[in-house]
Amino acid sequence: MPTLRLATAGRSPLHTALGEARDWMVAAPAFPRSLLPPRRLLRMAVADGPRARSLVPSHPLVLVHGCIGNPTTWRPLVRRLHRRGLDAVYAFGYTSFGVDVPELAERLLTQVEQEFGQEPVHLVGHSLGGLIARYVTQELATDTAVATLTTIATPNRGAGLARLLPTALGRDLRPDSPIIRELASRPLPGASVTTAYYTDRDLLVPQRSATLCSPDAEDVAIPGFGHLSILNAPRLADELVSRLRHAERLTRAVPKRSARPILRAVGGQPSLP
């Protein structure tokens, strides 16, 4: 699909840099807590405020943070989603030490199954979290388990800076890694609405890496923001809610089928959880 570029409201490079620094400083105090990741999904609650009509009935929205992030990095986006009427928002927390993408994807799927059973979910991943969400969608779950897949500033085609990280995740993030090649070789599930958001001022994941360039996905530009501050972009929240509402309408228009258990890949073969 062609890339969709959204207007930038005249943000200067200085404005972008200040916003990026602010958002990293706000998220930093929670980094130590991410060394002890929770065993279940976290319900993302926000203080009451002005809200639009609720997005109901809706599938749960599950957020997956990046390699050096934590659930706190989602707060700006969660506040904006709440104001736009989206309530059922959860976050998957993890530590980035001593793990790889397949292991984190297995943990994510396990927690989703524990929380929601057979109910489809909306998966949204920022940075590395987008690759984890893609791995669940493309490798582990059935076509109908993920209602929508959204990547935000995700190194979908790898990140050159990952060569500086001597860890399993660093190896997975390299442009020539087996994980990147494996995901690129598999088609995106036709039952999922897939969107890749990127920004033109991302110093960690440039546009050429953040886009999917697939006929089964849409690449959407949110210009004028940095790698983390894109989560605080009003246009991102507007776009995401609009696409979720559209996906919900499509879901309600299709007759419900009998429930089926989610299949998980074990040793290359699907098996029941």
- Summarised one tens digit per residue, pLDDT across range 202-252 is 989 999 999 999 999 999 999 999 999 999 999 999 999 999 888 877 766
The pLDDT, as a whole number, for residue 87 is 82
User: According to the per-residue pLDDT averaged within each range, which of 34-38, 40-44, 167-171 is highest?
Assistant: 40-44
Summarised one tens digit per residue, pLDDT across range 62-83 is 999 998 778 888 999 999 999 8
**Which one has a higher pLDDT value, 244 or 164?**
244
Residue 137 placed within a domain: yes
pLDDT at 49 over 70: no
Residue numbers of the domain that contains 239: 13-44+53-252
Q: Please give the structure tokens belonging to residue 207.
A: 């546009």
Is the distance from CB of 187 to CB of 143 less than 8 angstroms?
Answer: no
Taking residues 13-25, report their average pLDDT: 65
Residue 6 placed within a domain: no
Q: Please give the structure tokens belonging to residue 28.
A: 């930093």
Which CATH number does the domain housing residue 226 bear? 3.40.50.1820
Residue 171 placed within a domain: yes
- Across the chain, what does the average pLDDT equal? 81
User: According to the per-residue pLDDT averaged within each range, which of 112-121, 140-149, 251-260 is highest?
Assistant: 112-121
The pLDDT, as a whole number, for residue 269 is 39
Residue 1 placed within a domain: no
Summarised one tens digit per residue, pLDDT across range 241-256 is 999 888 877 766 544 4
Overall domain count for the chain? 1
Taking residues 124-151, report their average pLDDT: 93
Residue 154 placed within a domain: yes
Burial-class residue 14 by CB neighbours within 10 Å (0-12, 13-18, 19+).
exposed
Residue 89 placed within a domain: yes
91, 139, 238, 271 from 101: Cα distances, Å: 17, 11, 29, 20
Residue 61 placed within a domain: yes
**Which one has a higher pLDDT value, 193 or 15?**
193
Confidence of residue 271 (pLDDT cuts 50, 70, 90): very low
Residue 203 placed within a domain: yes
SS3 content of the chain, % helix, strand, coil (to 5): 40, 15, 45
The answer to whether the pTM exceeds 0.85 is no
**Residues 53-56: contacts with CB under 8 Å, at least 24 apart:** 53/85, 54/85, 54/86, 54/87, 55/84, 55/85, 55/86, 55/87, 55/241, 55/244, 55/245, 55/248, 56/87
Tell me the pairing of strands 42-43 and 89-92. antiparallel
The secondary structure element, H or E, covering residue 207 is: helix 207-210
